[in-house]
Amino acid sequence: MKKLFIYFLLFDLSICLQAQLIKTPLPTKQQLAWHEMEFYLFIHFGPNTFTDKEWGHGDEPEDIFNPTQLDCRQWARIAKQAGAKGIIITAKHHDGFCLWPSKYSTHTVRESKWKNGKGDVLKELSQACKEQGLKFGVYISPWDRNHPKYGTAEYNDVYVNTMKEIFANYGPIWELWWDGANGEGPNGKKQVYNWDRFKKTVNTISPRTVVFSDVGPNIRWVGNERGIAGKTNWNYLDTIGFTPGQGAPHVDTLNQGNAFGRVWIPAECDVSIRPGWFYHANEDEKVKSGEQLFDLYLKSVGRGSNLLLNVPPDRRGVIHENDSAALMAFKKLRDESFAKNLLNDAKAYWEINEEAFLKDSINYRTLDKRGAIYGINTQSFMVQLSALKQVNCIVLREAIHLGQSVESFKILLLNGDRQVAEINGTTIGRKRILTFPVQTITSFKVIFEDRFGNDNVSGVAAYLLEEKLIEK
């Protein structure tokens, strides 16, 4: 066993060194941790909740904001029960209204009648997240339709000070969300954002925070608000010459990444559980079902991205019953669907090598109980099941701490010596969930093509899902 461990360790080191030599981008520790988050909630909340708008104008009276039954603990409890691992809140949307009593604005909860101006949504939510063991993230729109200095060089100072204030009072902040919207301020001017300064500020005061925008620097937008990643989805992106917002790459590029991109910037899939982003009573019967959310999970997490699901609180300040019910149904479907890995009792897997076949000798290794193959370089491999089984879902994971290498693959499903189906795909990344019509098999082969000959499989699993859940 010790020799085997040393072999894997040396193999990992050799691959890392090769990745360095060929300048393959690698994720940071913070990005690797982000990849493992998989699913978390977005909370759109503010004056728009009370005006039925999606984008406020910044001239809404502060007293319009009055969630008399605000319960951030309820938000956190529901998030936890739904299996979400964090919450990101719109601390300041485009209307400029701050959900905390900022020293750098006069358009905040302090000026509202809610709790007689003594309320602080960020304080309550950050505490609730800590109680539930959830990560806490903040969205602060650079666009501000209320602040009088917007459109001037001084506004960049305001924005930097705003970030410093949030990190100092409500940290740790796990993810910071920068929207790329850039419209006119109350003075009729557009802002020239100092993005480099903004990035340096975050790196200085909170280097462990991952920052989202169209082009990162750490996480990128997936290119749509439908929550769907590309079937081809590289974690690499080229960012030179691009900026968030109108200066971003084409949405197709954001959706798929760049196969030879120079920076590791994975995609995050944002989507709302309702048609709108903020709460509207007329959408109470339009909440996505558990099955619809499961389908989005397959098309986001199942394509190597993370799912950021927006669940907007209502005017009371709580998550509506319909949204909560959908989240619980979503959790139940995930738990039931992936409860039984059919490879838990698999006999073994074999590395497939043409020379080995010619010599009638095959390199044999065993699977662990989770169907994982940690740290093993397998250009291709075969899994032998313990008995004849029905399968309609196979999950592959790439060892992304070594980079992303697989550019195409095929899975051959076998019943004895007879091939019953072939599944084709392109990239894998952190996780690839493949669904297909039910097949009865005794084994399957996975054959990779990549750029460097360094396919690193970190996990393989197989399941039998309800037919209605198969990705359409």
pLDDT of residue 453: 59
Single out the residue of 320, 322, 316, 314 nearest to residue 280, CA to CA: 314
Q: What is the pLDDT of residues 89-139, one digit of tens each?
A: 999 999 999 999 999 999 999 999 999 999 999 999 999 999 999 999 999
Q: Torsions phi, psi of 217, nearest 5?
A: -85, -15
Distance separating alpha carbons of residues 438 and 275, to the nearest angstrom: 33
pLDDT of residue 159: 98
Could you tell me what percent of the chain has a pLDDT over 70?
87
Q: Looking at this protein, which amino acid is placed at residue 250?
A: H
Q: Which of 232-241, 352-361, 403-412 has the lowest mean pLDDT?
A: 352-361
Distance separating alpha carbons of residues 264 and 35, to the nearest angstrom: 12
Residue spans of the domains in the chain: they are 25-337, 340-469
Give residue for tokens 């039954």: 69
State CA 366 to chain mean position distance. 32
Contacts of 94 (CB under 8 A, 6+ apart): 55, 56, 58, 141, 143, 144, 145, 179, 181, 183
Q: How many CB atoms lie within 10 A of CB 164?
A: 16
Q: How far apart are the first and last CA of the chain?
A: 44
Helix (H) or strand (E) holding 450: strand 432-450
Single out the residue of 423, 413, 425 nearest to residue 449, CA to CA: 425
Helix (H) or strand (E) holding 89: strand 86-92
- Cβ proximity of 175 and 209 under 8 Å: yes
Distance separating alpha carbons of residues 97 and 304, to the nearest angstrom: 35
pLDDT of residue 6: 28
- Cβ proximity of 433 and 459 under 8 Å: no
Contacts of 428 (CB under 8 A, 6+ apart): 304, 396, 397, 398, 404, 406, 409
Distances (CA, A) of 272 to 45, 90, 115, 309: 13, 13, 29, 6
The whole-number average pLDDT for the span 150-167 is: 98
Query: Which of the following CATH numbers is that of domain 340-469: 2.60.120.260, 2.40.128.20, 3.30.1330.10, 2.40.170.20?
Result: 2.60.120.260
Single out the residue of 300, 266, 291 nearest to residue 38, CA to CA: 300
What is 124-182 written as a DSSP string? HHHHHHHHHT-EEEEEE-S--SS-TTTTSHHHHHHHHHHHHHHHHHHPPPSEEE-----
- Cβ proximity of 122 and 43 under 8 Å: no
Assess whether the region 25-337 and the region 340-469 belong to the same CATH fold.
no
- Cβ proximity of 342 and 385 under 8 Å: yes
pLDDT of residue 372: 54
Confidence tier at 24 by pLDDT (50, 70, 90): confident
- Cβ proximity of 219 and 211 under 8 Å: yes
Q: Which residue has the higher pLDDT, 470 or 308?
A: 308
- Is the pLDDT at 4 greater than 50, yes or no? no
Give residue for tokens 């984008």: 55
pLDDT of residue 14: 43
- Cβ proximity of 101 and 92 under 8 Å: no
Q: How many CB atoms lie within 10 A of CB 468?
A: 10
pLDDT of residue 374: 45
Give residue for tokens 């693959």: 409
Could you tell me what percent of the chain has a pLDDT over 90?
81
Token code pair at residue 281: 């009573």
Question: Which pTM does this prediction carry?
Answer: 0.92
Q: Which of 121-130, 186-195, 455-464 has the lowest mean pLDDT?
A: 455-464
- Is the pLDDT at 462 greater than 90, yes or no? yes
- Cβ proximity of 147 and 184 under 8 Å: no
Single out the residue of 403, 406, 427, 450 nearest to residue 304, CA to CA: 427
- Cβ proximity of 192 and 199 under 8 Å: no
The whole-number average pLDDT for the span 159-165 is: 98
Domain 25-337 has CATH 3.30.420.40: no
- Cβ proximity of 122 and 113 under 8 Å: no
